[in-house]
Structure 1
Amino acid sequence: MVSSVTALTIESWTLYPFGILLIAARILSRRILLGSFNKLQIDDWIMLFVAVTFTGVIVSVNQVSHNLSNYLPPGAAEAFTTEEHDNAVYGSKFVMILEQFMLANTWLCKACLLMLYHQMTLGLKHNKLVKIVGGYCAFGYVLVQILYLGVWCRPIQQYWQVPVDDSQCASYYHHLITSAVFNITSDLMMLYLPLPILIKARLPLKRKIVLCGVFSLGVLVILSAILNRYYNFTEPYGSLIYLDWYTGEAATSVFVANVPHLWPLLSRLFALGAFNSLRRTTGNSSGNGNSSGKGFYPKGSGNNKGSRARPYDQHGYIQTESEERIASAGAGPGAGTTWPLPDTKDGAGLELGSMDRKPMGYAATAAGGNEKESEHRDGIVKTVQIRQYSNEV
């Protein structure tokens, strides 16, 4: 990267439309998957706010590069004219604004990815780890802000004073170290979260490799953060190269946070078909098992031709569930009116429990077993959760 003002302007405003287009593509992709903009989830709305923070980073970077700041070699500020002094004060204020936009952009992108990982791990032991990492990220952001605004530079007006009395108010040295520690360590934790799930998923090897590659893009974010801090600490006073890396890190965070959601849109545009659902099985100590499948199936994808629309849950995942349990003889399928279906040739019957109204349709439980065996001793009863969904998917 080069440090000239012109090159920085070209680079930053070249990366900016790509970031905004990716955010727009993510929202459109989610609209295709969920069926309505009204069904967008909280992480989608957060990403719309990320568009604001990303815009703030690009604008602030260019303001700082054009006006300079109090990050100057010793004695340089004393030689300034009144106009140059005022410009440096103005640029120093934009350095503070840039830092706030950068922190918000970075940690909001983390939040969006953590919400995705939370949905991927529902019902799995990994979900607890996702919550722990989320708590660590929240703690890190709050601590970095407290130290930045209330500890490293006092009084806070020193951040835009030209020249400064305390070099920390110009170099941000202590702040950059603490923010880098929490930023990079949390990224390393998040890099691990989806990989065990994808490796164990019942997907073809090629699709596993593709998905692992997508979720491993966080390596680029970590690399950008490391290079950002490297040039902050090694370049001399007055160098603008750190602004290049601020731009690169912010753009990379936006790219990585949105790429995992683009498959429904790409599938619709290029008729690529859909990935198989990520199926998982969990159990508990009582012997009950629960298996469910989730996948990123857009409506009308190649795998759904000739069939009715897939029943998505409120997060855009396919919702299926079955349960097999050990039951005592003579135990009914549950309270409520039942609908007995005709017996099969071997005398096994099937009963359908009451239809309960659910937010997305109706649910009932069907249970069946061999009547002759169940009258005398315990038997195995298989229950299947049957869900009837409305067409508003």
Structure 2
Amino acid sequence: MEESAAEILVLWILTGLAVAMMLLRLGLKQYRSQRSSLGDYITIAAIVSILLRGAVINVALLWGTNNISQAVRKTMTFTPEVIYRREIGSRLTIVNRVFYTVYSWLQKGVVMCILQRLLKGVGPKWITKFYWITLAVTFVAALIVTFTECHPFKRYWQVVPDPGTCSKGIIQLEVFSALSMVTDAMLIALPLPHLMKIQRPFMERLRLLALFLVGLTILGVTMARLLMNVVLFHRSGQSHNVANIEIFFAAFVANAPTIYGLLNVEGRRGAAGAQYLPDSYSGSGSKSIGGIRSNVSRKDRGLDSGNYQSGHNLQNHVWAGKSRYAPDSDEEMMI
């Protein structure tokens, strides 16, 4: 019972931190009076899914599951109440795996939204389409394998007799981990060449690079969880704790770039601030900003340049107003 209490404490601390980070992102977007973007709606869905995941796994940790070692089975008395509770816990474990998969891929979708905006106009369009299709296909594959390991299906929650190893979801974890690591590596690799080329001070480029390379921590955590379960051949309490760590880092990687951009924009003022204008203020044509019309066009080199050409200097008070009341989603403000 003490072990379960410790696992539940870790569960809600790390889940709470992940939710707090996502709420910070959404709150900053509202504070800056920016339009909600697809990434924001995906973030809301991620919050719902991870809270539901926490609720179901909480019950499973309290009531137990059919994941019982042979040594414990020999000494355990399987009363009707014990069997009932462990059957419910086992069913909820399956639901937990579904919500965990949904949450993980939703966070990948948030990252993809950021990359799609940052790389707009850079490289062929089929690359981002290919990435979205890859995320969709791997998500479906990860969900399908959740329900295909036990035959007959009731063995997923069968307590007595011993259902064997299928209910432990070893194959599901291996497939999930492999697909998750491949997609994470793809998302890390996509922006790196362009981040290295943008014309910014070295330390600023280093900070941007670090934001994306934090994704490597997810690869490490996922690998650790996979190896832990392969070696132990069951989902232990330590495995649950590692999964909770993975939840937090997924939220951090998906939301840190946007939070960084939203917090960092306050100090960007004056004519130099024109280079941080979002795409809605670039292009040929004029925009009225704070009552002053200014022709702003971006060089055709996309993120490779980062420079803007302006027919008139944007005054400090113009950018000061824009910094808080931007009408558009400004993930690219970080660049």
Q: Provide TM-score, normalisation by structure 2.
A: 0.78
Aligned equivalents of 1:266, 1:14: Cα separation in 2: 25
Conserved 8 A contact 1:25-1:262? yes
Whichever structure has more helix as a proportion of its residues is: 2
Aligned equivalents of 2:10, 2:16: Cα separation in 1: 11
> Larger deviation: 163-172 or 85-94?
163-172
Please state whether the residue corresponding to 2:199 is helix, strand or coil: coil
Of all paired residues, the percent bearing the same amino acid is: 19
Conserved 8 A contact 1:32-1:264? no
Q: How many residues align?
A: 296
Q: Paired residue for 2:18?
A: 19
Highest RCO, 1 vs 2 (Cα 8 Å, sep ≥ 6): 2
Partner AA of 2:9 in structure 1:
I
Q: 1:152 deviation in Å?
A: 1.9
Aligned equivalents of 2:80, 2:129: Cα separation in 1: 52
Q: Paired residue for 2:282?
A: none
Aligned equivalents of 2:233, 2:142: Cα separation in 1: 25
Q: 1:233 deviation in Å?
A: 2.1
Which one of 131, 136, 139 corresponds to residue 138 of structure 1?
136
Conserved 8 A contact 2:59-2:89? yes
Q: 1:40 deviation in Å?
A: 0.3
Aligned equivalents of 2:268, 2:262: Cα separation in 1: 11
Partner AA of 1:55 in structure 2:
L
Which one of 99, 102, 105 corresponds to residue 100 of structure 2?
102
Which one of 63, 85, 88 corresponds to residue 67 of structure 1?
63
Q: 1:42 deviation in Å?
A: 1.4
| CA displacement, residues 218-277 of structure 1 (integer Å, 9 cap, x when unaligned) | 111111111221222223657322111121111211121111111354347xx5547853
Matched, 1:79 2:77: yes
Matched, 1:316 2:326: no
Q: Paired residue for 1:8?
A: 7
- Report the CA distance shift for 1:60/1:245 in structure 2 as closer, same or farther (over 3 A): farther
Conserved 8 A contact 2:42-2:106? yes
Aligned equivalents of 1:229, 1:239: Cα separation in 2: 12
Q: 1:211 deviation in Å?
A: 0.7
Please state whether the residue corresponding to 1:262 is helix, strand or coil: helix
Conserved 8 A contact 2:21-2:252? yes
| CA displacement, residues 185-206 of structure 1 (integer Å, 9 cap, x when unaligned) | 1111111112111111111111
Aligned equivalents of 2:242, 2:277: Cα separation in 1: 36
Aligned CA RMSD, in angstroms, stands at: 3.1
Conserved 8 A contact 1:65-1:240? no
Partner AA of 2:220 in structure 1:
L
Matched, 1:307 2:329: no
Q: Provide TM-score, normalisation by structure 1.
A: 0.67
Q: How does 1:141-180 map to 2 (within 5 A)?
A: 141-149=139-147, 151-163=148-160, 166-180=163-177
- Report the CA distance shift for 1:257/1:228 in structure 2 as closer, same or farther (over 3 A): same
Q: Structure 1 unaligned runs (5+)?
A: 281-288, 296-302, 320-393
Q: Paired residue for 1:214?
A: 211
Aligned equivalents of 1:219, 1:164: Cα separation in 2: 42
Aligned equivalents of 2:240, 2:118: Cα separation in 1: 35
Matched, 1:249 2:246: yes
Partner AA of 1:316 in structure 2:
D
> Larger deviation: 16-25 or 128-137?
128-137
Aligned equivalents of 1:105, 1:99: Cα separation in 2: 10
Q: Paired residue for 2:300?
A: 290
Conserved 8 A contact 1:201-1:279? no
- Report the CA distance shift for 1:240/1:292 in structure 2 as closer, same or farther (over 3 A): closer
Conserved 8 A contact 2:91-2:156? yes
- Report the CA distance shift for 1:260/1:87 in structure 2 as closer, same or farther (over 3 A): same
Partner AA of 2:144 in structure 1:
I
- Report the CA distance shift for 1:229/1:278 in structure 2 as closer, same or farther (over 3 A): farther
Which one of 75, 89, 92 corresponds to residue 91 of structure 1?
89
Q: Structure 2 unaligned runs (5+)?
A: 280-298, 307-313
Please state whether the residue corresponding to 1:199 is helix, strand or coil: helix
Matched, 1:47 2:43: yes
Aligned equivalents of 2:99, 2:22: Cα separation in 1: 17
Q: 1:96 deviation in Å?
A: 0.6
- Report the CA distance shift for 1:236/1:206 in structure 2 as closer, same or farther (over 3 A): same
Q: 1:307 deviation in Å?
A: 2.8
| CA displacement, residues 75-110 of structure 1 (integer Å, 9 cap, x when unaligned) | 718732222111111110111111011000100000
Q: Paired residue for 2:122?
A: 124
Q: 1:128 deviation in Å?
A: 3.1
Aligned equivalents of 2:138, 2:97: Cα separation in 1: 15
| CA displacement, residues 163-199 of structure 1 (integer Å, 9 cap, x when unaligned) | 3665343221211111111111111111111211111
Greater Rg, structure 1 or structure 2? 1
Whichever structure has more strand as a proportion of its residues is: 1
Aligned equivalents of 2:216, 2:277: Cα separation in 1: 24
Conserved 8 A contact 2:97-2:146? no
Conserved 8 A contact 2:122-2:301? no
Q: Paired residue for 2:185?
A: 188
